[in-house]
Amino acid sequence: RAKAEGKNRHVFYASNMAGEVQAQRSMEEGLRRALEEEEFELFYQPVIDLEQRRITGAEALLRWRHPKGGLVLPGSFIATAEALGLIKPIGAWVVRSACRQGRRWLDAGMPLKVAVNISAAQLQEPYLTATLREALEESGLPPQLLELEITESQFVDANSAAVLREAAALGLGIAIDDFGAGYSSLAYLTRLPVHRIKIDRAFIDGVGTSREAETLIRAVVGLGHSLGKRVVAEGIETEEQLVFLGEAGCNEGQGYLFGAPREVPRMDALLRERPTFAALGAARRGRGG
Ligand code: C2E
Ligand code: MG
Ligand code: MG
Ligand code: MG
- Reported ipTM: the value is 0.98
C-alpha closest to that of 154 among 130, 186, 118? 118
Burial 123-140 (b: 16+ CB within 10 A, else e): beeebbeebbeebbeebe
User: Residue 185 corresponds to which amino acid?
Assistant: S
- pLDDT for 15: 63
Ligand 1: which of 44, 61, 207 to mutate, judged by most atoms within 8 Å of the beta carbon?
Answer: 61
How far is Cα 148 from Cα 131, in angstroms, rounded to an integer? 12
**Rounded to the nearest whole angstrom, what is the distance from the C-alpha of residue 75 to the centroid of ligand 4?**
9
Listed in sequence order, the DSSP H helices in the chain are: 2-36, 78-83, 87-107, 127-139, 158-168, 188-191, 201-205, 211-226, 239-248, 264-273, 282-286
Tell me if 52 sits within 8 A of 107, measured CB to CB.
no
- pLDDT for 24: 79
**Rounded to the nearest whole angstrom, what is the distance from the C-alpha of residue 151 to the centroid of ligand 4?**
8
Find the residues whose C-beta lies inside 6 A of ligand 1: 45, 61-62, 73-75, 78, 91, 94, 117-119, 149, 177-178, 201, 235-237, 254-256, 261
How far is Cα 278 from Cα 141, in angstroms, rounded to an integer? 29
- Beta-carbon neighbours within 5 Å of ion ligand 4: 178
- pLDDT for 289: 40
Tell me if 180 sits within 8 A of 220, measured CB to CB.
yes
Q: Looking at ligand 1, which residue's alpha carbon is closest to its atom 46?
A: 117
Tens place of pLDDT for every residue, the chain, 289 residues? 444 444 445 545 556 777 878 887 888 999 999 999 999 999 999 999 999 999 999 999 999 999 887 999 999 999 999 999 999 999 999 999 999 999 999 999 999 999 999 999 999 999 999 999 999 999 999 999 999 999 987 766 778 889 999 999 999 999 999 999 887 678 888 888 999 999 999 999 999 999 999 999 999 999 999 999 999 999 999 999 999 999 999 999 999 999 999 999 999 999 998 878 888 877 665 554 4
Size (the chain), residues = 289
**Rounded to the nearest whole angstrom, what is the distance from the C-alpha of residue 16 to the centroid of ligand 2?**
34
User: Please, how many CA atoms are within 13 Å of residue 263, restricted to the half-sphere of its CB?
Assistant: 7
- pLDDT for 157: 73
- pLDDT for 156: 63
Ligand nearest to the CA of 44: 1
User: Residue 243 corresponds to which amino acid?
Assistant: V
